[in-house]
Structure 1
Amino acid sequence: MYSYKYPRPALTVDALVYVKEESDIFVLLIQRGIEPFKGMWALPGGFVNMDELLETACKRELEEETGLQVKKMDQFKAFDAINRDPRHRTISVVFSVQLPEKTDVKGGDDAASAKWFSVNNLPEMAFDHRKILEEYF
């Protein structure tokens, strides 16, 4: 394909899925099954394939890691802090979707588990995902 002289960043997507219930908001997180940050919680997401649009990649990663299928997501923001991923330079585009109610989810692919958390009681989180949630909410 192409050969470039200069290094390039990797591109990922993250899914911010949430439900509003009375006076609380619940967000869907996955427990990472692999390094980096194995065992910590994160937004569902992963690397974009060469033949995918960003939203398509986000919906695929969401389904692979939680079993949840959604029809449409809205692009929120790109996160590009230099050291946000300890493996290499990674830029993530975050997509969001509000669901009418919590649904059953289960960890799959490289996610050990999936679970709903109150935004007021989040676990220790991987990468910059707590910052992403703080900016969104």
Structure 2
Amino acid sequence: MSYTYDYPRPAVSADVVVFDSSTDSILLIQRKKDPFAGSWALPGGFMEMDEAADATAIRELKEETGLVVAQVEQIGAYSAVDRDPRGRVVTVAFMAEASTSESIAAADDAADAKWFPVDDLPELAFDHSQIISDCFSKSDKG
């Protein structure tokens, strides 16, 4: 039996705050495409129909930076109506630990991937500053 719904459905994405506690750094990507082309953002992207949100975060992190993590921890969900100019997008945010000594390389829709000191982050796309702030307020990193 198939189901159809008369209600509009938002897209779902996952974003990940990758933190290195030994250097107090966060991994960011520079967006290759609009919206926010050239701006820095958290690694992340849209969920596929056959994956869970945590798997999306792990996959997108690998696709955009080459960094492989075994697990991520959920920070929260972000659903402000205007958080993405492309349309209605709800994101599930995660955090992961990694080391700045691990090899990273921008790929997929990332023009660059780079570690930034937590206390010297560039202006970020979307609501990613809020996600990072929430990550640190909900963890022992702050």
TM-score, with length taken from structure 1: 0.93
- Give the Cα–Cα distance (whole angstroms) in 2 for the partners of residues 126 and 47 of structure 1: 16
**Which residue number corresponds to residue 37 of structure 1?**
36
**Which residue number corresponds to residue 85 of structure 2?**
86
**Which residue number corresponds to residue 115 of structure 2?**
116
- Residue deviations 1:27-83, cap 9 Å, x none? 000000000000000000000000011111111100000000011111111111110
Residues 1-137 of structure 1 mapped to structure 2, 5 A cutoff:
2-21=3-22, 25-99=24-98, 101-102=99-100, 103-137=102-136
Deviation at 1:2? 4.8
Amino acid at match of 2:15: D
Deviation at 1:104? 2.2
Amino acid at match of 2:91: S
Higher share in strand: 1
Amino acid at match of 1:86: P
Q: Which runs of 5+ in 1 are unaligned?
A: none
Aligned-residue CA RMSD in angstroms? 1.2
**Which residue number corresponds to residue 139 of structure 2?**
none
- Give the Cα–Cα distance (whole angstroms) in 1 for the partners of residues 103 and 39 of structure 2: 20
TM-score, with length taken from structure 2: 0.90
Moved more, 36-45 or 127-136: 127-136
Q: Is the 8 A contact 2:29 2:110 kept in 1?
A: yes
Deviation at 1:131? 1.0
Instruction: Count the aligned residue pairs.
Output: 134
- Give the Cα–Cα distance (whole angstroms) in 1 for the partners of residues 3 and 24 of structure 2: 45
Q: 3-state SS of the aligned residue for 1:132?
A: helix
- Give the Cα–Cα distance (whole angstroms) in 2 for the partners of residues 87 and 53 of structure 1: 22
